[in-house]
Structure 1
């Protein structure tokens, strides 16, 4: 692909590495396209749906005229795989923060786990995690949380299209979920543990699909850089 292709519009399927922010991934691509392909410094580039630093997987990055498609792409269903840790919670609902409470797990068996899954299929009410970028009174929730401030978070409707358990090795449970825009898998982890009269937090997360786009066809940032070098 040449500079004109990127300006006319491309959707890049990027496999975001663990610990990178989505912003860092886009910035790296922007740097490469400016310096390796010769795109103008103010060319348009953006992603269609944030992935947390502690999540890996599919990031759709739109360039040029295709940045107009970001809203449409953000609205598509997303598929995730990952792991819940049963019996403990964290304030962030994942590994960003330390365990703050532990819960009994001796009553939890495969039957209870599979029955609990059914409670979360279809349209559900979900509260976003306090450690999230949603704004309350003009301030992001994670800023309130880090300042030790308690804020009331309104629940929102979201849809779980598919939810299956792929491995049970307590305290770990592996899962696959297909969900609508705006679903927080960290909140699903927390609520899932609560529904079993226990606790839970997310210990790994990978986004595998956005609509028909599949992570199996995605490229890692370093490989994208290598492909640009080989095309020079």
Structure 2
């Protein structure tokens, strides 16, 4: 593709690696476009942030197609991943250390599958305290890291599909299809609570946004190499 193609607008599907922020992935691509195609200035952005500890589909829009970001962000998303049952962390994932442990002897496959039903359809969900949502002019994670307690309002979100794909306690693998704004970390925490135990997220991969699938995405280095 030419510099003009990217300026006119492209939708690029990227498979974001572990430990990269979405911002880092976009920045890498922007630098590649500028250095390899000689583009001095280009609009580029992503449709839906993935945490550094998550992998998978990141939709990146260039040029005139950046106007479509809001529309793409609003589409339903599919995730796969793993909950660790019997322990919680302040961030609801592996970003922070385990802060509390809970009994799990009462948990079996029947209880797990029965509990899933509580989370189908429209639910109330509180975002994690370690998230980028702003409260009083600061990101929630900034409040959390400063040891400040803030009241977080719950939000409506919709779980269209919630399937347990493997049970090997303390691990449970899942697949979820959900609306925009759903926090899978919060789902892990709430699911653990509903089991009369605790849980946190240990792996997360975004596999779909609307009709776009991670199987059609490419790693950032492959994108960079395609420009040379």
Q: CA deviation at 1:119?
A: 0.2
Structure 1: which 5+ residue stretches go unaligned? none
Other-structure match for 1:100: 99
How far apart, CA to CA, are the structure 1 residues paired with 2:166 and 2:130? 27
How far apart, CA to CA, are the structure 2 residues paired with 1:9 and 1:118? 42
Other-structure match for 2:180: 181
Other-structure match for 1:170: 169
Q: CA deviation at 1:227?
A: 1.2
How many matched pairs?
A: 228
Other-structure match for 2:3: 3
Q: Tell me, what secondary structure is at the counterpart of 1:124?
A: strand
Give TM-score scaled by structure 2 length. 0.99
Other-structure match for 1:80: 79
Q: Tell me, what secondary structure is at the counterpart of 1:95?
A: coil
Q: Tell me, what secondary structure is at the counterpart of 1:73?
A: helix
Q: Tell me, what secondary structure is at the counterpart of 1:152?
A: coil
How far apart, CA to CA, are the structure 2 residues paired with 1:223 and 1:69? 24
How far apart, CA to CA, are the structure 2 residues paired with 1:39 and 1:193? 49
How far apart, CA to CA, are the structure 1 residues paired with 2:138 and 2:114? 38
How far apart, CA to CA, are the structure 2 residues paired with 1:65 and 1:184? 29
Other-structure match for 2:196: 197
CA RMSD of aligned residues (A): 0.5
Other-structure match for 1:112: 111
Q: CA deviation at 1:38?
A: 1.6
Q: CA deviation at 1:37?
A: 1.3
Give TM-score scaled by structure 1 length. 0.98
Other-structure match for 2:35: 35
Other-structure match for 1:20: 20
Q: Tell me, what secondary structure is at the counterpart of 1:12?
A: strand
4+ long deviations beyond 4 Å: none
**Comparing 31-40 with 157-166, which one deviates more in the overlay?**
31-40
How far apart, CA to CA, are the structure 1 residues paired with 2:90 and 2:207? 26
Q: Tell me, what secondary structure is at the counterpart of 2:165?
A: strand
Q: CA deviation at 1:48?
A: 0.3
Q: Deviations over 1:50-79 (max 9, x none)?
A: 000000000000000000000000000000
Other-structure match for 1:136: 135
Q: CA deviation at 1:190?
A: 0.2
Q: Tell me, what secondary structure is at the counterpart of 2:227?
A: helix
